[in-house]
Amino acid sequence: MLGLPSSTEVNRRVAKEKLYANAILNTSTKDMIKDQIESVIWRNKLADSTMSVAEGETVKEIQIFEVVLRQKALDKRILPAIAKAIPYKILFVLTFGGEAQAWMEVSDTFYNTEWFTLEGFTLRFEGLKLDAVYENLARQLAAGRLNAEGDIAKAVERDKQRRKLEREIAALEKKVLREKHFKKQVELNSDLKRLRKELEGLML
């Protein structure tokens, strides 16, 4: 599916009961997994023993799990719950019909691609060490939201700040449009200008 070497292939179905046993799940999350996921398949294991890449300082293995969906959507609480049950970095590939979407957790934040046809779904697995492979994957999934270089955790924190400012700006823009009093509009526009300047600084 991702053009990885055959030496990395596992292709083993993961029983949902195993996920329940290893993860701390409440009843509603278990029900969502039952209702929304058809099956989970451990597709690939990326490690120094399965491909020409050295073990990383922090990333020892990257597992690739295909999550076959019953519908083209998945509750946002499910993947974090599964990720906590497995002590390795995981690249989740969600599939539905003939389409796929990739998700991966980076510093407690999930990033994902758009939906692509399976034929057009490609990712680059680049790096001499698994740390680099993992960070390069993260930056691909983030689609420009993470800096091209530098510490990945700092890049994620910077992105969180940008997202927060973007939400505040959007809310303030709506407030300006609803405000009828000119003096208040001036105050709100001043706040809006300040936030936009902060956001511009984070985009550099």
> 141-171 pLDDT, tens per residue?
998 888 777 888 898 999 999 889 999 999 9
Cα distances from 123 to residues 1, 17, 136, in angstroms, run 10, 30, 10
How do residues 73-100 score in pLDDT, each as one tens digit?
Answer: 999 989 998 888 888 999 999 999 999 9
Whole-number Å distance between alpha carbons of 105 and 103: 7
Find out whether 111 and 104 touch, Cβ atoms under 8 Å. Answer: yes
| 46 phi, psi to nearest 5 deg | -100, 115
Question: pTM value?
Answer: 0.85
Q: What is the distance between the alpha carbons of residues 137 and 143, in angstroms, rounded to a whole number?
A: 10
Helix (H, G, I), strand (E, B) or coil at 33: helix
For the chain, the first-to-last Cα distance in angstroms comes to 36
